[in-house]
Structure 1
Amino acid sequence: MMATTSPAFVWRACWRSARPNFLVLSPLCAGLAVTTAWQDGHAPAGLTILLVLLAALLAHAAVNLFNEHHDFVSGLDATTTRTPFSGGSGSLPEHPAAAGAVRHAAFACLAGVLAIGAWCLWRSGPVMLLYGLLGMALVVAYTGWLTRRPWLCLAAPGVGFGTLMVVGANQALTGMFSATALAASLVPTLMVSALLLANQLPDIEPDRRAGRHHLAIVLGVGRAARLVAGLVLAAFAVVPLAWLGGWLPGWAWLMWLAAPAALKLAVGLWRLPADVSPGDPAPLVPLLGLNVALLLASLALLNLGLWLAA
């Protein structure tokens, strides 16, 4: 008992509950705010870039920490079959005494986001208040409220990681709205929503029993998987359409180096057996892993293309 309540175990539980393996997503999304600013001819200061990236990282960690705490205290963790990509970290079921510390860590991350947001508000004007209020609402409301509203639950992750982390952060960096940033933001908007929907597939039954009502529950595994495939392919269609419209440079086509993996993922999702059971996630796990790798690779390539074009 002493070991599980020692500071080292509490810190480890908080670290694991923040899901550090997945936090790389936020700097890749916020990175698009930086590379689109460079593409538009701006040169944000290094400190400003660092603060924007830190705010994105803290916001992502806060969502994860709130989610881990909620799923533990609600009893959902006890009924979920964890995979490397769904079902939480398992940290709090192993160390229940750390639940309070995880909740405090979530609020501490949120306080950091608020502090940086206040600085952005002072620097870039009152328009940042809209981005900030929407972002805070998504962080706080996602697990307890949005997961009971199917279409809002689908849209929320994409809006957070796409619209807010790219368009909002770009405006914080430049003081101006950017059509380039809006076009680039559509990629994470679509792909992150697809990622969260895919990761809900193994948890359909536990989530249903816990009172959630997201789109994976509404559609079932087969139709939800096909929606994921459609969203991923739509994200790749953004590049040629935005390039033709003059909103993204030709170097953005670098993202299409990941197109074969996107096609493989879409075909795999479309061909999922009709009788696949969310209670047996084994057929889903390779596709979930490919989905994560595809998202990170696509964003890295898009950032690289925008940087080369700047």
Structure 2
Amino acid sequence: MTSMFKQAGTVLQAMRLPFLLLTLAMMLLVSAIATYEGFEWSLPLFFLICVAALAAHLSVNLLNEFEDFESGLDFQTDKTPFSGGSGGLPANPAVAESVAAAGYFFLGMVISLGGFFVYLRDWSILPLGLLGVVLIVTYTSHITRYPWLCLIAPGLAFGPFMVVGGFMVLTGEFSWLAFWVSWIPFLLVNNLLLLNQFPDEAADRRLGRFNIIMRLGREGGLRVFKSFLVLSYLALAYLIIDGWLPYQAAFGFLSLLLVVPLWQKLRTPAPDLIQLMPALGINVAVVLTMPVLIAVGLYQGLS
């Protein structure tokens, strides 16, 4: 009985459940855009979309944990609350196959629900769904070896794929507003994974990975990070000024209160792990709060 509880605990640890807040933030954004554009959407259907999105996130987390354990990467990284893996499998290696099985179980859920969504709507949502499945399966083993693809894959998954795809399933229609807004989380989530790669740089090199930090160096990686951060706020400003979003969406700029200390933490060209630790946490807060604040603004724009 103790062994069974220990196995279940390790699988739960490998799920990285706190990270699922990112998916929930994207789902809130989807519902806010649909409501702002005047669609009457189904709450049960929205629940199923959330389940599919969470299953996709869980699948990629679990498969990433399993593959990083199998490759030996998890034994070489400096663990932080935001990078380096959960540490569950190195502590309990016998549970590895269970973690992989759980990852494929959630992938099966994604495919099954995706099939239902195609049946419910039409074939137009199939390309995004297929690309999402390919990204889940290939991210750790293949995408991490191509710097520019590794840089943008996370943002594509949580931005255009999740926001636009979720909107299309929820409403049955394509929305240019959802499309343009989705590029804000695209930029933010790219930055989330990019900054998290700094503590793992040495271990990633030894395992043959080749991300943007290795391609451009640490200074170049920070320049990309800061460029994406600035572009996310410029995109929000443009969408408000051009009339795509109501002025209430400017609530998103409140997250700049977090960006100021984040920017200060990253002033040095090659921050070490001690400098990075607070920056990693603040960056997570920025990535979560900006889309949520935009969603709140959209709901406020209806009143």
Same fold flag (TM > 0.5): yes
Q: What are the within-5 Å matches in structure 2 for residues 260-271 of structure 1?
A: 260-269=257-266, 271=267
1:162-177 superposed matches below 5 A: 162-177=159-174
Choose from 233, 237, 252 the match for 1:236: 233
Report the AA paired with residue 294 of structure 2: L
- Is residue 91 of structure 2 the alignment partner of residue 99 of structure 1? no
Give unmatched runs, 5+ long, in structure 1: none
Contact kept in structure 2, 1:31 and 1:53, CA below 8 Å? no
Match of residue 126, structure 1, among 123, 127, 133: 123
Quote how far apart the aligned CAs of 1:273 are.
Answer: 4.5
Give the drift of 1:238.
1.3
Q: CA deviation at 1:223?
A: 2.0
1:60-86 Cα distance to aligned partner (Å, 9 max, x none): 111110100000011111111111111
Q: Structure 2 residue aligned with 1:160, among 157, 160, 163? A: 157
1:54 and 1:296 mapped to 2: Cα distance? 19
For the residues of structure 2 that align with 1:299 and 1:16, how far apart are their CA atoms? 26
Does structure 2 retain, via aligned residues, the 8 Å contact 1:233–1:262?
A: no
| 1:84 partner letter | P
- The structural deviation recorded for 1:133 is 0.3
TM-fit CA distance, 1:13: 0.8
Q: With structure 2 as the length reference, what TM-score do the two structures score? A: 0.96
Contact 1:226-1:266 within 8 A present in 2 as well: no
How far apart are 1:114 and its partner, in Å? 1.1
Contact 1:32/1:184, CA 8 A, preserved across alignment: no
| Aligned twin of 1:309 | 301
Q: Which amino acid aligns with 1:74?
A: S
Query: For 1:225-249, what per-residue CA distance to the aligned partner results, in whole angstroms no more than 9, with x for missing partners?
Result: 2211221121111111011222212
Query: TM-score, structure 1 length as denominator?
Result: 0.94
The equivalent residue for 1:30 is 27
Aligned partners of 1:239 and 1:29: how far apart in 2?
Answer: 16
Equivalences for 1:58-77 in 2 at 5 Å? 58-77=55-74
Check if 1:214 corresponds to 2:211. yes
Question: CA RMSD, aligned part only?
Answer: 1.3
Q: Distance in 1 between matches of 2:299 and 2:8?
A: 37
2:286 pairs with 1:297: no
Aligned sequence identity (%): 39
Structure-2 separation of matches of 1:29 and 1:238: 17
Aligned to 1:283, which of 275, 281, 288?
275
Q: Does 1:189 align with 2:181?
A: no
State the alpha-carbon separation in 2 of the partners of residues 123 and 246 from structure 1.
Answer: 32
Moved over 3 A (4+): none
Aligned residues: 302
1:21-74 deviation line (CA, Å, top 9, x unaligned): 111100111221111111110011111110111111111111110100000011
| One of 166, 176, 180 as aligned partner of 1:179 | 176
